[in-house]
Every structure is written in C-alpha cells, then in structure tokens.
C-alpha cells in the first residue's frame, strides 16, 4: 500500500531497479543544484547606474575582469568530474540503451556544456556555447524554411498593422505588492492550496518575474496591470511552477524536476503557447518576443550594446526598459565583440516546435501524449519515451495541467482546422476579401 502525501503524490515501496534509477536521478539533481545560469551571468545595478550616468552614450562597464570578480559558486573542474562520474555510473549500472538512463546521460552532457559556457563568461566562447545550447537567430526548422530572424520580421510586420493602442496592457495600474497579492491569490486557487507556492518581491532579476522551485519572484520596482498579472499567472505559474511541482512529485525519475537547456526550449515554447490558448497573451507581449529575436540577430551580426539598445528605443520602449531588454541579450558576454546570449530565442523557437508537435499529435491520433509535456521539465524529444515510462510506472502523469491541456477537445478542433487553413493561399484570400476592407 502507498501512503498519500500532502502534495497529492503517493509514497510506495520501490523495486530494486526503481531504487537504482532513483538514486542516480537524485545524484544528478544534487549535482546541478549550484549551477545557476542567470545568477552567474547577470549584471548588477551598478552597471545600469554607470550606463545612464554616462548619458547612455558609452558601453556598459562590463569586462572579463567583471566576471572574474564574481566567482562561480562551485569549482568548475570538480563539477565537470562529478557530472562525468554520474554519466559513467549511469552507463555501468543501467546500460547505454536504458530509457531513463539515456535522458539522464544527455542531461549530464548538457550540464557539462553549461559549466564550460559559464567558465567562458566575457569571451566569444560564451556566445558560441550559448548558440549550441539555445540556438541562433539564423536557425531554420527545415531546409528552405524561413529563419527565426525571418519569423521575427514577419511578426513585427503584422504587429505594426495593429492599432497602437491595442499593443498595450490595458487596465488599472497595480504596484508590485498589489500585483504580488493578486498573483498569490490566483495561484492558490489553481494549485488548490494557498500555501503551495509563494510570491515574493525581488529587484535582483532582469525579467519582470521569474519562477523558482516553489515560488515566483516579481520585480519590486515595476508597475503591473491585471492583464500583466494574468500573463504571469499562466506563464510562470501554470507552466513553469506547475511543471516543477509535477517533476518534484515523481517517485523515481526525480530528474524531471530540473531543466537543462534542451528543456528550456520546450518549456518556454509551451508557456508561450499556453498564454495564447488561455487568451492571456497580447500584441505588446508578442512584440517584446519578436524584438528580442531582432536584438539577438543584430548582436550575432556584430552589433554592440549601444546599437541594440538604440534599436529598442526605436521600437518606442522607455530607456530603462530598452536597457533591460538589451541586457538580456548581452549578459554573460561583453557589450561588444563577443556575441549574444541566445536564450531569448527559446520562446519563439519553442512555440513553433511545440505547436507543430501538437498538430501532428492530433493528425496521428496521439493527442493523449500532449499532457505529458507537463509531467516535469520535459523536452519534445523525450515524449515518446515518457509515454513508455508512464505505462511502466516509472513516471507518474502530471497532477497540475492547465485547463486547455487537461481537456483537449477545444485544442483538437483548433488544430484540425489549423491543418486545413494553413494550406490556403493568403494572397488569394486577400484578393477575394479586398472589397470588405
């Protein structure tokens, strides 16, 4: 008999094989614990103050010495050896063809790449490894398809045709404590427990909000609107916190509670797609994502911090918001000559990949696999394996699934029509409807 726990999971006696997988999984979770990419590459408030004190006319004072003065919270050589040892033990104890073993081995390899990336902060090598992990704006989904940069340009073109007043987040302005209280209330309802997650203020993050293991941090110096809070509820709460809690509830494959870069692409894409399905997104949100693609593309083509910063100013962002957007692109690198940090491509790249996966799942009658995207920090490449592990009992289905994915009737109809409508000629439609506009 299993014993129910407070988070809805059930403790059960594990078999010797399950205990072996669980032990290796726990070792991997512990090994990655001090590897915090965004903490290791962020620029502090002194850099921002110096930038604006110079009239925003000089590059931010970030050099290789800047990163050297902020040592990593782990010894890189020892961490690389630890991850190599775990991967070796996975092969020895589980075999090279074991399903959870293959996922954990790939995670070990990715985390070693992350360690190498962080040891190259402030060098061109940092951006090159970032590109391997997160992608490039010049990436194509298939031969002959548009690039991610082309996607950004196309979306920007469509957004400029919308009325300017529709690009904002309408509604009453809330200060950070008010937004924090409203977000905490909504997440308490979603997770069926007002104490399940915490919402707290923080000025040490670049984004307006960031999700942790059981909390969401929101910036204390930002004004919010109800629409903005709704976006955070869905993106940070339903998806990022939900997949973390579902991963933590895994009795065997505990590594699903942690996300390497390959999971970041899938999870950020899933979060953006959930925003859209929940009608929580809005044009200004999409505009930010597409402008970041353009910023990354500029930096990949040699633009420096000031040039990308001025690009965001040209897009009608206020100076400090333009600075924050540009900092996201250059953090970990240098303001000039070393290329960008490309993680911001994950949102749009992941959206396209996850959307097309769901379209194919509908087409092939395998829609039941889609909710498995929420059973932890998953990647699309692992969904087939995860379905097998659910059948074997090594992975438990997700408890927290957004309503749009818990009941897939609406999405299945959406995708059926999308498969047909996507083949229609927009030019011919435009010609047919010319008299209506």
Who's near 42: CB < 8 A, 6+ residues apart?
A: 204, 205, 206, 331
pLDDT in tens, 263-291: 999 999 999 999 999 999 988 888 899 99
Q: What share of the chain is helix, strand, coil (3-state, %, to 5)?
A: 60, 5, 35
Phi, psi of 362 (to 5 degrees): -65, -45
User: Residue 210 forms beta bridges with which residues?
Assistant: 217
Asked if residue 352 has pLDDT above 50, the reply is yes
pLDDT in tens, 207-240: 777 787 888 888 877 888 899 999 999 999 999 9
pLDDT in tens, 25-73: 999 999 999 999 999 999 999 999 999 999 999 999 999 999 999 999 9
pLDDT band for position 152 (cuts 50, 70, 90): confident
What distance separates the 2 farthest-apart alpha carbons in the chain? 71
**Higher pLDDT among residues 289 and 419, named by residue:** 289
Tokens of 263: 């999971």
Asked if residue 410 has pLDDT above 90, the reply is no
pLDDT at residue 167 in the model? 47
pLDDT in tens, 325-334: 999 999 999 9
Asked if residue 391 has pLDDT above 90, the reply is yes
Give Cα separations from 125 to 113, 337, 379, 394 (angstroms). Answer: 11, 11, 25, 38
**Higher pLDDT among residues 287 and 427, named by residue:** 287
Helix, strand or coil, per DSSP, at residue 211: strand
**Higher pLDDT among residues 156 and 330, named by residue:** 330
Across 392-415, average pLDDT = 91
pLDDT at residue 250 in the model? 97
Minimum mean pLDDT range among 94-103, 104-113, 276-285: 276-285
Nearest to 208 by CA among 117, 285, 129: 285
pLDDT at residue 436 in the model? 67
* Residues in the chain, total: 437
pLDDT at residue 111 in the model? 98
Across 148-152, average pLDDT = 85
pLDDT at residue 6 in the model? 45
The Cα angle at residue 90 between residues 377 and 10, in degrees rounded to 5: 50
């Amino acid at each position: 008999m299993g014993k129910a726990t407070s988070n809805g999971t059930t403790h059960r006696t594990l078999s010797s094989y399950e205990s072996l997988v669980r032990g290796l999984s726990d070792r991997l979770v512990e090994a990655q614990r001090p590897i915090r990419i965004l903490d290791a590459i962020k620029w502090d408030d002194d850099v921002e103050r110096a930038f604006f004190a110079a009239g925003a006319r000089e590059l931010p004072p970030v050099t290789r010495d800047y990163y050297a003065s902020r040592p990593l919270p782990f010894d890189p050589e020892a961490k690389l050896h630890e991850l190599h040892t775990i991967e070796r033990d996975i092969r020895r104890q589980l075999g090279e063809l074991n399903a959870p073993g293959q996922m954990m081995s790939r995670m070990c390899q990715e985390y070693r790449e992350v360690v190498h990336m962080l040891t190259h902060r402030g060098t061109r090598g940092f951006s090159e490894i970032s590109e391997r992990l997160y992608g490039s704006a010049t990436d194509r989904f298939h031969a002959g398809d548009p690039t991610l940069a082309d996607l950004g340009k196309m979306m920007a073109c469509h957004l400029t045709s919308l009325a300017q007043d529709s690009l904002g987040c309408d509604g009453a302005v809330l200060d950070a404590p008010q937004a924090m209280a409203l977000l905490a209330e909504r997440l308490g309802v979603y997770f069926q427990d007002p104490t399940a997650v915490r919402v707290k203020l923080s000025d040490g993050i670049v984004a307006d909000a960031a999700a942790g293991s059981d909390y969401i941090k929101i910036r204390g110096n930002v004004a919010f609107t109800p629409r903005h809070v709704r976006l955070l509820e869905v993106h940070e709460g339903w998806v990022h916190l939900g997949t973390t809690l579902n991963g933590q509830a895994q009795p065997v494959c505990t590594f699903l509670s942690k996300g390497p870069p390959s999971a970041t692409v899938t999870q950020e894409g899933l979060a953006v797609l959930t925003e859209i399905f929940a009608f929580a997104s809005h044009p200004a949100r999409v505009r930010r994502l597409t402008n970041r693609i353009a910023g990354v593309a500029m930096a990949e083509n040699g633009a420096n911090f000031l040039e990308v910063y001025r690009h965001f100013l040209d897009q009608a962002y206020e100076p400090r918001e333009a600075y924050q957007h540009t900092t996201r692109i250059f953090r970990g690198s240098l303001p000039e000559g070393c290329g960008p940090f490309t993680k911001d491509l994950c949102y749009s790249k992941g959206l396209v990949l996850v959307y097309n996966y769901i379209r194919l799942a509908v087409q092939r009658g395998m829609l039941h696999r889609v909710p498995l995207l929420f059973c932890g920090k998953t990647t699309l490449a692992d969904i087939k394996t995860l379905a097998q592990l659910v059948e074997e009992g090594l992975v438990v289905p997700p408890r927290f699934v957004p309503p749009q994915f818990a009941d897939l009737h609406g999405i299945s109809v959406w995708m059926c029509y999308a498969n047909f409508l996507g083949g229609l000629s927009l030019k011919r439609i435009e010609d047919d409807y010319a008299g209506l506009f």
